[in-house]
Structure 1
Amino acid sequence: MSERKVLQKYYPPDFDPSKISRNKSDKQAGPKVQQVRLMAPFSMKCLSCGEYIYKGRKFNARKETTDEKYYAITIYRFYIRCTRCSAEITFKTDPKNMDYECERNARRNFEPWREAKLAEETEEERLDRLEKEESERDKMQELESKTLDAKAEMQVADALDSIRTRNARLERTGNVESILARDEPSDRMQEEKEDAEIAQRAFLRGSAGRRTSEEAMEENPPPPPPDFRRVVKKKKDFGAALGIKKKAASSQ
């Protein structure tokens, strides 16, 4: 009994006090784990044996501090065991939705009020959606401006092509006019000669046609014109045809 009250301890010759760590966190390798007492945050079903665990049931659990963070909020993971098959079930905190998230070896029971709450749009999601719509709108405006610029460039190119074509046509027309002006006298005389020959041939053809028509009229004169005067017809003597003799008029 007296040995417990000894104030001095034995230190071996190779003892080095500098190797003693005074920080308790250095003794643990990996994430920090604590033994805690908690209640199930939601009703769940064990996937190993099908046991239902209701919300509020107490467990001796292990609490692990993860490296995950939501903004500046640390996310914790909890390990519990099924009350029937002792399978390990894990879930962690969900600060974004102010709830817990089932992770492994269990499935959370259906909760209609929770689904309706998750369907609602949060402020963060609304901001993300507005930023996305704004970025898409900016992209559409940029695309429209590029399209308008390309259209303007095409119009300018078409105008330049039309100007070049017109200038080339004017140059060709000027060359032709200069050639015509240089060769105008001889060409005009040649054209006048050709026109005179064509007129002479046409005149000869016309005179020959007139002579043949006059000869044909002399050989076959045209019929006399019709006479439209009224002709009085003699009356037919029907009495003579019937054998009736007329009496001669007596002269006194």
Structure 2
Amino acid sequence: MGERKGQNKYYPPDYDPKKGGLNKFLGTHALRERARKIDQGIIIIRFEMPYNIWCDGCKNHIGMGVRYNAEKTRVGNYYTTPIYQFRMKCHLCDNHFEIKTDPANLDYVIMSGARRQENRWDPLQNEQIVPETKETQKKLFDDPMYKLEHQTKDAQAGDDAKPALEKLYMRNTDVWKDNYEANSMLRAQFRKTKKELKLSEDQDKKLLIKSSLDISLLPETDQDRQMATLMTLQSRSAKDREDEKRLDLLIKPALPSSTITSFGGVKRQKLLSNKLSVEELGIKKKKTTVNKLIDYSSSSSDD
């Protein structure tokens, strides 16, 4: 855009580039009326009142932020920082007041024509950040213990300010919320929910096909999970009862005898206490048990 600025100006037919720029050719300043006193070191600027004041001429209150056309003059330096003074006319009377910058204290000082409205407070009580003084900076540099204590206090102040900062962050989020960001978050959540619903629907279809059913399944709940767990435990108990019946058939004597109760009771309890299943016994153990039973029956008959 900078290269097109010259095209937006009117150059008269008698303009000679050798004489310099357009302002120099016309004998004017680039700031026009704002530079009418530039030969005196004064330039007209738009000045905004830094705080509330009382005008000494009309005794009226002038609020912070009221703007004036002020004469800006450089009156000195604070080290390498220039000090400026502003002179302006009250908009309610003919009184003029002058205000000067104070770089040492980062403030403005009223020189004449007005007085400041005193409503100051300690910035530390308002939880504001206060720049360190020269003495404090020197002490931080020279004294390691003071520096450690200062850092500890700063860390504690930061922890104390976290709840207030979170409240301000939430307030800013509500006030300055971004509709595009909110829409993006909502769409991302919608896509995630859509994927979960599709996955659940596919699982329900597989279950219905496996069970040869044509019904609509309701969403799974905690109560359903508890019932499924209980049914699993009951099914395991049924299997255990089935194994127990098989053991009873295996241990049952092939021939009737008077010692069926003692043999069946003792052997059965022993096998059940050892938790032997049909597979663990095997065919070999079956034959061994039957042979022992036959031998025991024969000995009982002889007696």
TM-score tier (shorter): 0.3 to 0.5
Q: Normalising by structure 2, what TM-score?
A: 0.30
Specify which structure has the bigger relative contact order, considering alpha-carbon pairs within 8 angstroms and separated by 6 or more residues.
1
What is the TM-score with the length of structure 1 in the denominator? 0.36
Considering only CA atoms, is the larger Rg found in Structure 1 or Structure 2?
1
